[in-house]
Amino acid sequence: MTASTTRRTTAARSRIAAVSAVAVAGALILTGCGDQTDKAPESSNSQAGNSKAPLFSKLPKKIQDAGVIKVGTDATYAPMEFTKDGKIVGLDPDVAAALGKQLGVEFKFESGTFDTLIGSMQTGRTDAVMSSLSDTKARQEGLDDKGKKTGAGVDFVDYFTASTGILVKKGNPQGIKTLDDLCGKKVAVQRGTTYEQSAKDQAAKCKKDGKGALSIESYPTDAEAQTRVKAGGAAADLNDSPVAAYIAQTANGGNDFEAIANPTDAGPLGIAVDKKNTQLRDALKEALAAIIADGTYKAALDKWNAGTGAVTSAQINAGQ
């Protein structure tokens, strides 16, 4: 998947502000090194892990002893990860819970600003990032959207497939059907996401094709981008396809938005792990293969009506 196809790029993606102030009443949908992560509610189980779990021995001893894999996320991106009743919930936490049963440890999610998540992991605050993060070559190599080295790269264990979702105002008053229909219009996006880069790529294409200029407004949260679309200030907001669909279904009882999918640019989302932590990466890959085989992976996706994004095998760094 290219940097133009999913929510999260090396420059970075923050998500929908705590269940989207606009879209969902309560919760909705990389380079910084600042410690901006707020801890999720403490779990009562922060002791050593379950050594009888099938894949416990595969984990690094530090994680075995802690009984916890600390996961950085931006819990404002329903249905992937969002906060409900003070707890981080969603598709990603449910997949993580299934992985945890195989590994014998708890996945403890901590919510922070999207564009600081990888940096926080690489400074040791968290062990992994699971935040609908697109697996791209740039992120694998630690490059920004201009190909400049910004830090160490990461490895991905790919667990889901998503494409661009175009979120428009209910009734689709501007007749948007594809990204090309955005030429000559204004797009609102969340800053630091792959979709900010996707909008930039589309703007360049509009110019090359001699069509109207595409203007871009970038916001710290996707909730703000949604607000612009709802108010008619922007023609569309770009998101991961399952997130755009969720917003359209739930915002104001489904009366605010419509979602248009662009499945031709589908690409993988991955759990990011520091490149030096190959033991954790490989343990996660084995655990993903196990939950795909035993059906708990499918059950987690089906719970959130996201089965179309299922992967059939566990892979590392499959993103292009």
Q: Which two tokens stand for residue 246?
A: 């969720």
Q: What is the pLDDT of residue 292?
A: 98
Residues near 274 by beta carbon (within 8 Å), at least 6 away in sequence: 121, 122, 152, 154, 155
Q: What is the pLDDT of residue 85?
A: 97
Domain residue ranges of the chain, discontinuous segments joined by +? 163-265
Cα separation, 273 vs 63, whole angstroms: 14
Q: What is the pLDDT of residue 145?
A: 66
Q: What is the pLDDT of residue 152?
A: 84
- Residue 158: closest CA among 56, 281, 10: 281
Q: What is the pLDDT of residue 195?
A: 87
Q: What is this structure's pTM?
A: 0.76
What is the topology classification, in CATH, of domain 163-265? D-Maltodextrin-Binding Protein; domain 2 (3.40.190)
Taking 70 as the pLDDT cut, the residues of the chain under it are: 1-47, 145
Cα separation, 203 vs 179, whole angstroms: 10
Cα separation, 280 vs 295, whole angstroms: 22
Q: What is the pLDDT of residue 299?
A: 98
Cis peptide upstream of residue 268 (ω within 30 degrees of 0):
no
